[in-house]
Amino acid sequence: MWEAGAFLSIDVVEAALSAAMGPWRCLLLLPLLAPALRAQQQQFMEYVERRLTLLEERISQWYEQSSRYSSELRDFKNQVLGMLETAEKEREALRAEAEAAAVRMERLEREVDYLETQNPAPPCLEVDEALMEKQVATAKQRKNEKYSKVTDCSDTIGSIRAMKILKRFGSSSGLWTKDAAGSTEKIYVLDGTANDTVYVFPRMREFTLFSATRKAARIKLPYPWVGTGHLVYDGHLYYIRQQGSFQVIKFNLANKTVVDSSVFPAEEQIPVFGLSPFTYIEMAADEEGLWAIYATKEDEKNICLAKLDPSSLDIEQMWDTPCPRENAEGAFVVCGALHVVYNTRLPSRSRVQCVFDVSGTLSPDDASLVYFPKRYGSHSSLKYSPRERQLYAWDDGYQIIYRMEMKKKLEL
């Protein structure tokens, strides 16, 4: 380095001199100027050497620094690589653990399902016994007084035989149903808990095939509905309107006119199901006709039931049932027996856990506990079709059909 610097500096001086004077002048002046030039050259050499030494020092400093940086960088890279490797290993372990937990969970659920079918818990566990007896007695008394209809319908639900998820449509709450009494294949959809437009699909196929509502006719109702307790029965939509008090509107779906309406004769109504606070009156159809399920402040713990005349909307009879409102998410009537479906606030498995039979054949104690299969969220509606013996359910925006296995009430 040093040697090269010296050579370089002489070359530089010579080059500078020759550039300044030209080679022939240099030759002429050389004898005269030689001593002065030598002194200058000497000074210049010293100057260049000083600069070079400085430069060298700086270069060696840079070199040192950069090699330190690069070794630090290498160390850091190795460290990061090591950390990544550990993280990857830990992630694998976590995933394996999560998978194992899921498998265990599923097995447990199956076991619980099995145990539930083997040892059904007694229904209406939370009901005060004395209160229940009193209420059943009053209901029976009222029944003996007024309710004289005798039918040969003697079935009750044995179990949920199958579940079919048809599609996902609309908002998280709503209802879908066929006509509970007529023979039409039409599917009626009331999306949401407050609206005025009913979708009518010609058949199940159109409802399930198309994601849009292209294949649906729309019927605009004269007043908006409230809740999910409405019913299609024998060509009419029976729906609930709130205008201060609650009204049942009977709407003819063929000529799209209001045929009748009546103020529901209960005072101080409260939401009928604890877990579905948007519904105040649930209209239901069974093998015997039309029912309304509701609740009032007077007995705010339990659910009430009324039998309705489908043509006049008159109430034929009312019952206080022993079925609690708390944790109820829906209800339906099968062969004159109210079946209330319960869940928990954080949705788990729904179950029919309280049954009230107006004929008195089924006592709440001997009704079997019926569990629904595992689902998405909570049922915002459960519509029983007496014609098909199945339930049309709206579960957090999913439309589901539950097929039911029936059995005779007396075989219990």
Ligand X SMILES: *[C@@H]1O[C@H](CO)[C@@H](O)[C@H](O)[C@H]1NC(C)=O
- Residue from 52, 259, 270, 315 binding ligand X (CB under 6 A): 259
d(CA 142, CA 136): 10
Q: Residue 151: CB partners within 8 Å, gap ≥ 6?
A: 287, 288, 335, 336
d(CA 364, CA 357): 8
Q: 154 or 197, CB closer to ligand X? A: 197
d(CA 84, CA 90): 10
- Residue from 159, 184, 195, 262 binding ligand X (CB under 6 A): 195
Q: Residue 240: CB partners within 8 Å, gap ≥ 6?
A: 225, 226, 227, 229, 230, 246, 247, 248, 249, 264, 280, 281, 283
- Residue from 40, 70, 78, 257 binding ligand X (CB under 6 A): 257
Segment interacting with ligand X (CB under 6 A) among 50-58, 146-154, 195-203, 209-217: 195-203
Task: Check residue 312 for interaction with ligand X (CB under 6 A).
Answer: no
- Residue from 252, 311, 312, 348 binding ligand X (CB under 6 A): 252
Segment interacting with ligand X (CB under 6 A) among 79-87, 115-123, 173-181, 255-263: 255-263
d(CA 185, CA 66): 82
Task: Check residue 299 for interaction with ligand X (CB under 6 A).
Answer: no
d(CA 330, CA 346): 15
Q: 202 or 224, CB closer to ligand X? A: 224
Task: Check residue 66 for interaction with ligand X (CB under 6 A).
Answer: no
Q: Which two tokens stand for residue 371?
A: 């569990």
Q: How far is the CB of 384 from ligand X (least distance, A)?
A: 25
CA 165, 171, 173, 179 torsion-angle sign: negative
Q: 143 or 215, CB closer to ligand X? A: 215
Compute how many residues bind ligand X; rule: CB under 6 A.
Answer: 10
Q: 195 or 296, CB closer to ligand X? A: 195
| 3-state DSSP assignment of residue 411 | helix
Q: How far is the CB of 241 from ligand X (least distance, A)?
A: 12
Task: Check residue 196 for interaction with ligand X (CB under 6 A).
Answer: yes
**CA 174, chain centre distance (Å):** 14
- Nearest Cα residue to 245 out of 276, 220, 281: 281
x/- contact string, 204-243, with ligand X (CB under 6 A)?
--------------------x-------------------
Q: 236 or 351, CB closer to ligand X? A: 236
Q: 256 or 297, CB closer to ligand X? A: 256
- Contacts to ligand X by CB under 6 A: 192, 194-197, 224, 252, 255, 257, 259
